[in-house]
Amino acid sequence: MQSDLSIPVATLLAFLLVLSRVSGIFIFVPLPGIQSGPEAVRIILAMSFTLALFSRWPAHLTRTPGIAELIGWILAEAMLGLAVGLVVAVVSEAFQMGAQILSLQAGYSFASTIDPSSHADSTVLVVISQLLAGLLFFATGLDRRILIVFSQSLETYPPGSFSVPVTFADRIVPLGASIFSTGFRLVLPIVALLLMVDIGLALLGRLNSHLQLLMLAFPAKMLLGIGLLAWIVVLFPKVFSYSADGITETIGQLIHR
């Protein structure tokens, strides 16, 4: 006796909508090496996470949508996932902004290496800050909080019921300012010290114009910059954890009605 395996249409629609929401998150979430990894790995990761949330899927959809309405649902779900992933990426971008400011001031912008994520030329400190932010993403437990909040979003906004609110962009756009403010405050002590070095060398060159201070400026600034960076790096987990609290609160505001 043969039995046919049949999957209800509502289950397939729920899987498609949840997969759209999950895939949107994985585009921006700062997982180390996820952007440079094979496409098949990212697809399997998104599908595995979707299946792991099976208990959170809607029990049934009220009706079967048409093609145009289904496309609208998929776009809305993907937009919600993209918004959550973009908010999470703000913390990593703040660290990279601080590294970029420090690289320009300390002279490390002349030394470039290959970014493991984008395979583009990047400064050494930017690559280090990106890897550090990826490690802190797991060390501070932000990944667990994001998973919990995201699973709660399937209850607040079941697949197919999300519509982009008017104030949606008002909660995400101001986070761009926090990238610059957090990154600058993170490296402000080092930048201030390097500025004092520049002023001291300028005064010394004014007193004796025969001194070749240009050859001493770069190694002195690079040595002081990396030395002070090694001293204040112990504060990075606290800064990341503080920023993660704000990020979690923002995501909670996005997914709650």
98 domain residue, yes or no: yes
Pairwise CA distance, residues 175 & 107, whole Å: 29
Collapse the DSSP code of 113 into the 3-class scheme (helix H, G, I; strand E, B; otherwise coil) and give the result: strand
Tell me: pLDDT of 5 over 70: no
Task: Compute the mean pLDDT over every residue in the chain, rounded to the nearest whole number.
Answer: 77
* pLDDT tens track for 168-216: 667 777 777 888 888 888 888 888 888 888 788 777 777 776 766 667 7
- Segments forming the whole domain that contains residue 138: 9-255
Return the pLDDT at 1. Answer: 44
40 domain residue, yes or no: yes
Res. 32 pLDDT band, cuts 50 70 90? low
Tell me: pLDDT of 109 over 50: yes
What proportion of the chain, given as a percentage, has pLDDT over 90?
Answer: 0
* pLDDT tens track for 34-44: 666 667 777 78
Domain count, the chain: 1
In 3D, which of 244, 25, 11 has the Cα closest to residue 153? 25
Distinct helix (H) and strand (E) counts, the chain: 9, 2
1 domain residue, yes or no: no
Return the pLDDT at 127. Answer: 79
189 domain residue, yes or no: yes
Return the pLDDT at 75. Answer: 84
3 domain residue, yes or no: no
93: Cα separation from own chain's centroid: 6
139 domain residue, yes or no: yes
Return the pLDDT at 110. Answer: 66
The more confidently predicted of residues 114 and 44 is: 44
- C-alpha distances out from residue 166 to 37, 138, 170, Å: 36, 33, 8
Mean of pLDDT values over 8-15:
75
Cβ neighbors of 244 (< 8 A, separation 6 or more) are 91, 140, 142, 145
2 domain residue, yes or no: no
Q: Count CB atoms within 10 A of the CB of residue 90.
A: 20
37-46, 74-83, 165-174, 233-242: range with lowest mean pLDDT: 165-174
143 domain residue, yes or no: yes
Return the pLDDT at 141. Answer: 83
